[in-house]
């Protein structure tokens, strides 16, 4: 269905059944699903959040300097990226971590040409460190990287199976959209992503598919064209 994707994974989802950190079982499940589509010929770039370790915005609310808090969050995404890369390597999947700020030997410094060359070779590319700047979320980083590498779609893997009229975990009357436009998301003030990421995708006509990544096999279903989530179109 798609040749090249940017997969945005939630740091919180990596916690699995834990209250903090990385759940080994969830990490393995993610790695196996990514390997399966990579072996099928899909070019996969990944951006992972860091909320299972540290979130800059919540840190600033507890008294942290916002810039330093966001930098701590960037480092948290690097930890998650290295963990996923290690799990993929253990499966025999070629993978490379690229970082938005210089962190050799943790990862090579990111640029879009390097990322595209690796993707063309069948290497999974994990892009860590957010945008490299404070005040920007990993949602915005995902949107930016998807546009830069020329992805066909940005896949946003969450614990919810799509976009609803309201938070389905809080409102039992919420109904799910099969498709929705960026304009409607903005008009309804739906918190699919932060506003910067939403507008960036809208202006660059980058489609987003929101789906439940925590259910084993769902990533393969999305790539097979099964309508299990919500497609956001320009």
Look up the domain containing 185 and give its range: 4-233
pLDDT score at 60: 58
pLDDT at 61: 63
> How much of the chain exceeds pLDDT 70, in percent?
96
- Res. 58: pLDDT tops 90: no
- DSSP, collapsed to helix, strand or coil, labels residue 77 as helix
- What is the token pair recorded at 82? 């290295």
The pLDDT value recorded for residue 64 is 72
pLDDT value at residue 170? 87
Q: So what's the pLDDT on residue 52?
A: 93
pTM over 0.85: yes
The answer to whether the CB of 224 falls within 8 A of the CB of 206 is no
Average pLDDT score, the chain: 93
Q: What is the pLDDT of residues 20-32, one digit of tens each?
A: 899 999 999 999 9
Pair 78, 99: CB distance under 8 Å: yes
The enclosing domain of 46 has a CATH number of 3.40.1160.10
pLDDT digit string (tens) for 140-169?
A: 999 999 999 999 999 999 988 999 998 888
What's the whole-number mean pLDDT along residues 210-216? Answer: 95
pLDDT at 168: 85
- The structure tokens 């993707």 sit at 119
Instruction: Say what the pLDDT of residue 191 is.
Output: 86
Helix (H, G, I), strand (E, B), or coil: what is residue 228?
A: coil
Give the model confidence (pLDDT) of 75-133 as tens digits.
Answer: 999 999 999 999 999 999 999 999 999 999 999 999 999 999 999 999 999 999 999 99
């Amino acid at each position: 269905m798609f040749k090249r994707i940017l997969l945005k994974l939630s740091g919180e989802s990596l916690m699995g059944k834990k209250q903090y950190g990385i759940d080994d079982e969830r990490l393995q499940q993610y790695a196996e699903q990514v390997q399966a589509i990579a072996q099928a010929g899909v070019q996969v770039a990944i951006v992972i959040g860091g909320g299972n370790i540290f979130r800059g915005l919540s840190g600033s609310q507890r008294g942290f300097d916002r810039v330093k808090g966001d930098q701590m969050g960037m480092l948290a995404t690097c930890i998650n990226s290295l963990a996923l890369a290690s799990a993929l390597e253990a499966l025999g999947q070629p993978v490379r971590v690229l970082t938005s700020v210089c962190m050799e030997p943790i990862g090579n410094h990111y640029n879009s040409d390097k990322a595209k060359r690796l993707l063309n070779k069948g290497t999974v590319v994990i892009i860590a460190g957010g945008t490299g700047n404070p005040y920007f979320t990993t949602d915005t980083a995902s949107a930016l990287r998807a546009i830069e590498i020329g992805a066909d779609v940005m896949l946003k893997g969450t614990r919810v199976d799509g976009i609803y009229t309201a938070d389905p975990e809080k409102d039992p009357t919420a109904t799910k959209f099969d498709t929705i436009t960026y304009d409607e998301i903005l008009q309804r003030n739906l918190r699919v992503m932060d506003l910067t990421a939403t507008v960036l995708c809208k202006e660059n006509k980058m489609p987003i598919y929101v789906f439940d990544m925590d259910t084993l096999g769902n990533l393969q279903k999305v790539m097979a064209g099964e309508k299990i989530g919500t497609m956001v179109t320009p």
